Amino acid sequence: MKAQQCSNCSAVVELEGHVFSSACPFCDSPLVDTELVAASPPDVVVSFDVDKTQAARLLRGYLEEQWLAPNALRRAAKAESVRPVFVPFFVYNAVCSSEFTCRVGIYWYRTETYTTTVNGKTVVRTRQVRETDWHPFAGTHARRWYDHLVSASAGVLESEANALEPFDLGRSQPYAYVLTGGVEAEVPTIEREAALKTAEQELQQLAYSAIASGHLPGDVQRGLETRSSVEIEAVRMALLPVWVAAFRSGEITVRLLVNGQTGEVVGDVPKDKMKVGCLFAAGFGLVALCALAVVALASLEGL
């Protein structure tokens, strides 16, 4: 924690060590730690399109769909439960070059003669049978990727960040204090080296998927293996809009995230043990009922 004095009312406010922008709780004036942000300045900011009321409504809809969740949790999403955060992301432009090998299969059809019985008589018929010829195949693939995002916040897991995407960076603006003032904003808490490793792994997986889905000949493929290298061309820091909501469910704290641009809701919701038990009991009862019906039908047929 660090102390920051409000320039409007002179109140001293405690901010978490990774937060450089917030609002004064006494007068709602913007607070910006200029020294902290100067040490790791963001390049661009994407503004919120989803307001607080909309975010709460989206959360309620998401929770209502989780019908196995505890009822108290499903009713917990209120406007005062959500807070806006500008979350830092590393943004990469890169070229991924790959070499690959696999086996490709080409279909062909042969005519097969067979016999069958029709109206008590044996008849000869033909049918088409599909066969596959397999051939080794190798090649190369290269693609330039733009605006690949990796979470720079230890508070937003990369899996959560991927689920929140996409964000439209085409609508970003060059960073200025006024764009984040009054809203909590974070400096990166993920090391650049760790984020770079994540970016390389994700881009290599994207290259694999691109090769598998649209770069191979033949009718069917198997055994695809790739060897990819990633050349980073540019790295930027972007502050992206995320609504964060935390709810209590018994002893468990549930955290949900809302994309402040698109309204996409992300988060795991616990299941009510009693509801799960009732669902299991209902399923077991249905299976037992079907089994009894089968036994009763068999008994009637034996009469």
Q: Are residues 253 and 289 in the same domain?
A: no
Q: Are residues 188 and 253 in the same domain?
A: yes
Number of domains in the chain: 2
Percent of the chain with pLDDT over 90: 57
Q: Are residues 178 and 288 in the same domain?
A: no
Pairwise pLDDT comparison (157 vs 273), residue with the higher score: 157
Q: Are residues 300 and 157 in the same domain?
A: no
Distance CA 261, CA 60 (A): 18
Q: Are residues 248 and 297 in the same domain?
A: no
Q: Are residues 55 and 180 in the same domain?
A: yes
What is the model's pLDDT at position 19? 82
Closest CA to 148 of 213, 106, 186, 205: 205
Domain assignment present for 20: no
Structure-block tokens of residue 139: 């090649």
Distance CA 242, CA 188 (A): 15
User: How far is residue 251 CA from its own chain's centroid?
Assistant: 26
What is the model's pLDDT at position 13? 60
DSSP state of 219: S
* Residue found by looking up tokens 């200025």 in the block: 176
Q: Domain limits at 277?
A: 272-303
Q: Are residues 67 and 165 in the same domain?
A: yes
Summarised one tens digit per residue, pLDDT across range 248-259 is: 666 667 788 999
What is the model's pLDDT at position 139? 96
Which of 38-47, 48-57, 243-252 is the least confident region? Answer: 243-252
Q: Are residues 291 and 181 in the same domain?
A: no
Q: What values do phi and psi take at 258, rounded to 5?
A: -125, 125
Q: Are residues 170 and 277 in the same domain?
A: no
Half-sphere exposure (CA, 13 Å, Cβ side) for 194? 11
For residues 57-70, average pLDDT: 75
Threshold 0.85, pTM exceeds: no
For residues 121-125, average pLDDT: 93
- Residue 195 reports pLDDT greater than 90: yes
Half-sphere exposure (CA, 13 Å, Cβ side) for 116? 8
Average pLDDT across the chain, whole number: 84
Q: Do residues 205 and 192 touch, judged by C-beta distance below 8 A?
A: no
Domain assignment present for 182: yes
